[in-house]
Amino acid sequence: MATALITGASSGIGRDLAILLSRKGYSLILVGRSLSRLEAVLPKLSHKRVRLLALDLSKPEHCYELYRQCKGEVDLLINNAGFGQFGEFVHSKLETELNMLDLNVRAVQILTKLFLRDMVKQNRGTILNVASIAGYLPGPLMATYYATKAYLLRLDLAIWKELKKRRSRVQISTLCPGPVATQFNQRAGVQFAIPGRNSFWVAAYALQQLEKGKRVILPGWEAKAVAVLSKVAPDSLLLEGAWLAQRRKEK
């Protein structure tokens, strides 16, 4: 029986991925900072083959502890935990930004590296890293968050190519959604200028595309349009458009 490990599993896309994977028969390892919030997900699942781990993955030692506890068990790793922060770079809190880098980048780096090594040895397994359409754009007023998602997108593409060259059966994919109606907005201190897509729909689409072996998953026409635009528009236009869009998000 396959086992999926999902970080940031107590709400939003992570929670909905857990619900859908439980329906597909996966055993689950759900990770979040709050045990009570993880427990609130349990009634929504189709079975009870679930382990809950309350860990703060912005702390490297917790990432290593997660790997130690789950080594050899994971067939599908979903790195979903992350957050954003709104505001000019000159005014935003450095401590918050460093915490964001630890969770959005460093934790994903550690977990991807450790679990990927095992998967490559076994020549099977799948990793889904949740980035954002923000990874395709410059992000004035959310500079650090956008940069973290660009890092994940480029990291995953490079790993994908390495796996292909070694003819590995291991798969790595990147989910790059546009606005999604989750608690991300409240923590980041933003309000999207356009309605966010339903997180359950995004989760279902992501799993559908993952099963097809899609390298980069772009849910909805908005995400696809931004990805195309980022390749053809000059940086000056992207920067101005991003600035105007970000200003409209401010609460």
Active-site amino acid positions:
145, 149
Which whole-number Å values give the CA distances from 18 to 21, 91, 142, in the listed order? 5, 37, 28
Residue 85 dihedral angles phi and psi, to the nearest 5°: -145, 130
Quickly count: other Cβ atoms within 10 Å of residue 146's Cβ: 22
- Distance in angstroms (rounded) separating the CA atoms of residues 174 and 156: 7
**Encoding tokens for residue 25?**
């028969």
